[in-house]
Amino acid sequence: MRLKHIKNSENIVSSSKVVIQNPHLYKGKWKSVFGNNNKIFLEIGMGKGNFIIEHAKRNKNINYIGFEKYPSVLLGALKIIESENISNLKIICADASNINDIFYREISKLYLNFSDPWPKARHAKRRLTSPLFLKRYDSIFKGFKIIEQKTDNDDLFLYSLECYKKSHYFKLKLSRNYFDDIRTEYENKFILTKFYFNF
């Protein structure tokens, strides 16, 4: 589906206090952005922000960073974060391929929720669980490398498991029928559709 561009979205995002401009300047110093030493959890591809916003509201003792490439997608999330003054959540509007230029030994958990599966073989390097990306993540984690992934794409699911194995990640929890009470907007839509057509 083609992404709808919203007029002036780039200016709104670039002027928001929630969005960190020039994030590479904070590499190794993200605790100074939040003003504390709390753990930092990161979501790549946060979309409209339902998932990470709810986590930040429930867990004030954890700092959250949402990564999203497209300014138009972020506008709704920014309104909520600003209006509710959610101080433990910051946003980066950038391409995730540059992630190891932005963080160094600072992330305690990484969320990958319903990432683009990039189904064509020639696009495999773009998958967020490809060996290329997993190598990039190596330098961002503080301590154990913890990735929490959700996907509804079987091919990406199996591909990811293989990549994790090759990159020496260990499976702590694995389920094909797992629903968290904190969901992405995509997940909510899927669940509502599923139950609507199957009662």
Q: Which of 139, 144, 150, 198 is nearest to 174 (CA)?
A: 150
Say which residue the tokens 């996907």 belong to.
151
Q: What is the CA radius of gyration of the chain?
A: 17
Residue 154 catalytic? no
* Backbone phi and psi for residue 93, each to the nearest 5 degrees, phi listed first: -105, 95
**29 alpha-carbon distance from chain centroid:** 20
Residue in 101, 116, 154, 180 annotated catalytic: 116
Q: d(Cα 96, Cα 92) in Å, to the nearest integer? A: 9
Q: Name the token pair of 120.
A: 């064509």
Q: Which of 115, 10, 165 is nearest to 73 (CA)?
A: 10
Q: Which residues are catalytic?
A: 116
